[in-house]
Structure 1
Amino acid sequence: MPPAEGADVPPTPNSNPNIPPITKSAITAMRHPPPESKESLRLRRYVILSFWAVAIFIGLPIWWKTTAIYRAELPLQIMTDWADGKICRPVFPLRISVEAPTLQLQDAHNLIRATQHALDDLNEFSAHHLRLMLADAPLSAANASQQVVISGGPGDRSDDEDIALSIRLIPIETGTAPRSILQPYAPTLDVYYSPNQIPPPSSTGSPLATFIAHELHKIFAEEQTLLAHLLSTTSNVYTAKMKSLSSETVTELERQSTRTLKYAPTYHLTFSLFSPTFMPSSWEIEAALQQYLSPLLETFSSISNFTVDTQVQLYATFSPSIRQPEYDENLKAWTLRKEDLSGFINAAEWPLSPSIGVSPTVNFILYVPDQSQSPLLVKESGANSWLVPQWGGVLILNPAVTGQSPMTLTKDALTPAMHTFSEQLLSLLGLPQSPASLPLRLSTLKRVRAASLLFSASSTLGALARLTKALKSIPIPDNVAKSVDTAIAHLQQSCSDLRDGRFQGALENARIAETAAEKAFFEKSMVGQVYFPDEHKVAVYLPLLGPVAVPLIMAGMKELKSLRGR
């Protein structure tokens, strides 16, 4: 029988009487290692502490430094305030110069004062106001105070380019008076009056002053509507002006905004000739552009620049997505349905590039149909041209009913096409339809573009501020901070130029601000970190830190446990 558990094992017989017998307690004592000395305990603790010290005081700072995301300081509150419209409230003070060489100085001042009162009574849009001033008037005390309102400083004289409109008062002895004529190619309004219509010094109003005020109000009515529509989309302050407009006017404004190209400092114009046959194979497009389009593009040089190229493609067939032309007995012509116009362009085979470089491309297509399908018109309207919103325009140039198509389109044959393309370009650029003076319409477009760029840059800064607050893991490099500072500085200068009536400077500064804001928002190094979430970081670090951290943690826990046991 084996001995009971825990009982002493009887001495093992040994032939050598000098060796003591081996008991169970002796065997148990032999299984445990000898007790550590104090020196070895201290040495082990120093080793563990040294590993932890290296990990904490050297490893963690290096890891933190090498993996930290650099975020440059951005003026987030200022960016948000710009986006909310709290910093700049655009105003558009227009200077109107009055030329009255035949009037006495006192009479001229009385007429200007009465006209200004009538203008202020007609104006319902506080951000857009007209300010009359006497041309070449000396800076008297009264005139100096008027200059404070107009230009911002008592000694600041207005430059000619800051004058929105010049009024020439022309006395007449016979004929209907008062009457006015707006010059079509100059920012000048000629007002004809009879000498007895000049208001006396004691009068606060006169028919002549009322007439001039109403004429000025009609001239700038569309500009006020465009600016009110633009400002109402960013602020609730100007909704009252929009509520006073008819539903047809609001619909037309919305249609114009969807049709107009987005503003760009440079546009690329492409003129293309397409024919389903081998004729015509050439066109005198350079001479036609030089005569009909170059003067128009030069007038836009203060707003945008343009580059132009041309191309010719023969045997250009219709897009297979539309129905073939049908002959209409009433029109005596081949017709295209209105619903097929959107698919008229054969994008698969016609070489039409959507953009060349960084500038947006505006396409103008001249299509010469085959003699067997000429004339070719739009069935519903009978027109031979149409506009493609934010893209370009198309014109069908029908050859003569008799005879063959010419091999070369001369400059005279291209005259109708150049006029149509010019009108389509003006529509795509957002040029207002009134008044009848082209320089005044260009000035209106300049102010509208300056305001739209200011709002666009402010909105981009606000979006960048919200993105920075929402995503803490994206880096903010120094060039983004510099671009933001540049955008804010030029926004402030643009707003100041608007208040002072320097609209060309306002447009240039707003253009720089919009470019800088877009550059900051679309920084490539920021976009890459958006698609690297924290889960990816955990998946990367765990395989590396696990084998290192487990021995350190287990050794530390074992040492703490032994200290607690003692």
Structure 2
Amino acid sequence: MSSKPEGLESSNISCNDAPAMSSETVQRPPPPEKPAAILTRTKVIAAFWAVIIFLGFPIWWQTTSIHRARLPIQEMVNWASGKTCRPVFPLEIQFATPSLPVSDAQHLLRTTQHTLDDLNEFSAHHLRLKLLESSNIESNSPDGLRSITEDNADTVLSVRLIAQEDLTAPRSVLHSETTQLDVFYPPSQVPVPSSSNSPLSAFIAEELQRLFGEEKATIAHVLSNNNGADHQPAAVLNSLPPQIAETINKRERRSMKYAETYHLAFSLFTPGSAPSSWDIEAAIQEYLTPLLQAFSPISNFTVDTQVQLYAMFSPMTPQPEYDESQAAWTLKKEDLSAFINAAEWPLSPSIGSGPTINFILYVPAPSQSPMVVKENHATSWIIPQWGGVFLLNAPLSTSQPSNPSHLSKESLQSAFLTFSHQLLTLMGTPATPTSLPLRLQTLIRIRAASLLLSASSTMGSLARLTKSLPSIPIPASVATSVSTTLSHLSSACDQLREGRFAAALASARVAETEAERSFFEKSMVGQVYFPDEHKVAVYLPLLGPIGVPLAVGLLKELKRIIAGWKSRRSSP
């Protein structure tokens, strides 16, 4: 019998026990974490999150938040919709009746006012008659009421009634240089106290309606373009004769957009070397300065002049043709729009802050003189919303067939008188009545109405813009401009209602300027092109690598705290 070695048996026992010992070593839990290490980790995580919440987040919020100043949105919308202000135009007309007793004069005014109210179908534009006291009448002055009219800015017209025995029917004479209307009447047509009307009252009412007929139609046209306007202005326009409606539309297409300051550029062009100079300063001072001063309540003007020699026609445009029947060189009416050689003639489209109105004085060459428009034999025309042109055909002598080297003030008279009429047209001045002061007063009221409605519409557009784009900023300057606009709109509306039209125009002008400034604020426009998607694309690459470890560490710490709380709660 053989026996196993003792050492080999011991070795077998050791090999069988080895796996059990290795398994017990792997499953042994890690040593418990020290309370000091746990507290340190918790403090570190809390410190990071405290810095983020109490320092980082407020700084980020303050530096990236969009400042939106508070705007009176509802008030702005009400102005745009016409709920806040309904423009009215009460025109005060003063009557001077030096030859009538006070009682008869008052009765005449009552009957005339009643007739006017019956004839007027547009309540926003109405005439108010006022009897002038006898002590204020200059009976010895041939102009009568001229000084009173100039002193009282609220009075748009002064009517002086003059009795004449040899008349069979009343007649009227409007002074072309003042706002005074003289009415000559037979004494037999003065209404007696028991009558409700008279031929004299009807005549005066019809004359006043005729004088302000184009103004009423124009204001109705302006109000009808407002979104919040009622149906009355449209009804007035529909009842107008087609000729008046076409006149208003034509004037609107020709006239320049309103501006506080215009730049007038007078240019002398000639295809040769003469004339090389002109007495422009004296001509402007003599023929144009009084008109510019009369425009001062409406707009201001700056003046610039230039002389351009060898200014030839463009080779791409039709050239003048000689007409034997007219014995003149002619330009066709359809070719007038191409008369200006914009490529070579130095005409700046805009100089300074205001729009430029160009006036061209063209002196044709002796070989092409005289030069006229073929269809109507005219020597001037208007380029809508740009300026005017005048052809100065210099007189040529047989001994010296050439243009003069210098144009005197007298030779420029016809040109500058034409430029004055063209300026009135380009400024939108009505064609009637014949009195220039009355036409300028009408223009004041038209401009005040248009600026009031334009500024109100801009306020509505700004309100809709801020509501539809909540991501754009609204700086404090915009809120200030809006407040100024609304304040001046309210003042303009009140002043219109009181009949102070020059003051209303001044307030409406400020309102329009501030409204445009607030709507076209550069900082508001720039933010529109930086939407929220761009912000996310910028922040994610920066905050992702930092935020994920912090969020994971916070979750683990919260799980540990919750697990410890549950174990303490379950232990007896």
Match of 1:420 in 2: 418
**Mapped pair 1:88 → 2:85:** yes
**Mapped pair 1:75 → 2:67:** no
- Of 393, 398, 403, 1:398 maps to 393
Deviation track 1:252-296 (CA, whole Å, cap 9, x = no partner) reads 322211211111122111100011111110011111111111111
- Of 376, 401, 418, 2:371 maps to 376
1:87-236 matches, within 5 Å, as 87-136=84-133, 160-234=152-226, 235-236=229-230
The answer to whether the 8 Å contact 1:171/1:192 transfers is: yes
Shift, 1:54, TM fit: 2.3
Match of 2:250 in 1: 255
The answer to whether the 8 Å contact 2:269/2:307 transfers is: yes
- Of 282, 296, 304, 1:309 maps to 304
Shift, 1:330, TM fit: 3.2
**Alignment partners' CA distance in 2, 1:490 and 1:333:** 56
* 2:418 aligned counterpart, secondary structure: helix
Shift, 1:81, TM fit: 0.6
Match of 1:533 in 2: 531
- Please say which of residues 337-346 and 64-73 is displaced more in the overlay: 337-346
The answer to whether the 8 Å contact 2:396/2:403 transfers is: no
Shift, 1:482, TM fit: 1.3
**Mapped pair 1:289 → 2:284:** yes
Q: 1:11 to 1:180 in 2, by over 3 A?
A: farther
**Mapped pair 1:271 → 2:269:** no
Match of 2:58 in 1: 61
The answer to whether the 8 Å contact 2:98/2:134 transfers is: no
The answer to whether the 8 Å contact 2:269/2:308 transfers is: yes
- Please say which of residues 40-49 and 288-297 is displaced more in the overlay: 40-49
Match of 1:477 in 2: 475
Deviation track 1:368-406 (CA, whole Å, cap 9, x = no partner) reads 121222222233333222111111111121233552111
The answer to whether the 8 Å contact 1:72/1:481 transfers is: yes
The answer to whether the 8 Å contact 1:83/1:461 transfers is: yes
The answer to whether the 8 Å contact 1:80/1:462 transfers is: yes
Deviation track 1:296-348 (CA, whole Å, cap 9, x = no partner) reads 11111121111111100111122343122233333333233333322222222
**Alignment partners' CA distance in 2, 1:536 and 1:382:** 65
Q: 1:247 to 1:211 in 2, by over 3 A?
A: closer
**Alignment partners' CA distance in 1, 2:460 and 2:172:** 47
- Please say which of residues 158-167 and 539-548 is displaced more in the overlay: 158-167
**Alignment partners' CA distance in 2, 1:28 and 1:11:** 22
Match of 1:298 in 2: 293
* 2:274 aligned counterpart, secondary structure: coil
* 2:355 aligned counterpart, secondary structure: strand
**Alignment partners' CA distance in 1, 2:336 and 2:13:** 115
Match of 1:3 in 2: none
**Alignment partners' CA distance in 1, 2:471 and 2:492:** 34
**Alignment partners' CA distance in 2, 1:532 and 1:245:** 51
Give the TM-score of the pair, scaled to structure 2. 0.88
* 1:191 aligned counterpart, secondary structure: strand
Instruction: Specify every segment of 5 or more residues in structure 2 that has no aligned partner in the other structure, as ranges.
Output: 1-10, 136-149, 565-572
Match of 1:145 in 2: none
Shift, 1:199, TM fit: 1.0
**Alignment partners' CA distance in 2, 1:23 and 1:335:** 124
Match of 1:148 in 2: none
The answer to whether the 8 Å contact 2:96/2:134 transfers is: no
**Alignment partners' CA distance in 2, 1:380 and 1:214:** 37
**Alignment partners' CA distance in 2, 1:219 and 1:96:** 12
**Alignment partners' CA distance in 1, 2:213 and 2:19:** 123
Shift, 1:463, TM fit: 1.2
Root-mean-square deviation (CA), in Å?
Answer: 2.4
Shift, 1:159, TM fit: 6.5
The answer to whether the 8 Å contact 2:276/2:309 transfers is: yes
**Alignment partners' CA distance in 1, 2:332 and 2:269:** 20
Shift, 1:365, TM fit: 0.6
* 2:438 aligned counterpart, secondary structure: helix
Deviation track 1:45-77 (CA, whole Å, cap 9, x = no partner) reads 332233223222322121111111111111111
Q: Which amino acid aligns with 1:324?
A: Q
Match of 2:428 in 1: 430
**Alignment partners' CA distance in 1, 2:13 and 2:498:** 116
Instruction: Specify every segment of 5 or more residues in structure 1 that has no aligned partner in the other structure, as ranges.
Output: 1-8, 14-19, 139-157
Aligned length, in residue pairs: 534
Shift, 1:29, TM fit: 4.6
Match of 2:344 in 1: 349
Match of 2:145 in 1: none
Q: 1:25 to 1:118 in 2, by over 3 A?
A: same
**Alignment partners' CA distance in 1, 2:443 and 2:327:** 42
**Alignment partners' CA distance in 2, 1:112 and 1:372:** 64
Q: 1:445 to 1:23 in 2, by over 3 A?
A: same
Match of 1:359 in 2: 354
* 2:372 aligned counterpart, secondary structure: strand
Q: Which amino acid aligns with 1:349?
A: E
Deviation track 1:150-209 (CA, whole Å, cap 9, x = no partner) reads xxxxxxxx9721111111111111134311111111111111112221111111111111
- Please say which of residues 107-116 and 297-306 is displaced more in the overlay: 297-306
Q: Percent identity?
A: 59
Deviation track 1:77-113 (CA, whole Å, cap 9, x = no partner) reads 1011101111000111111111011211111111111
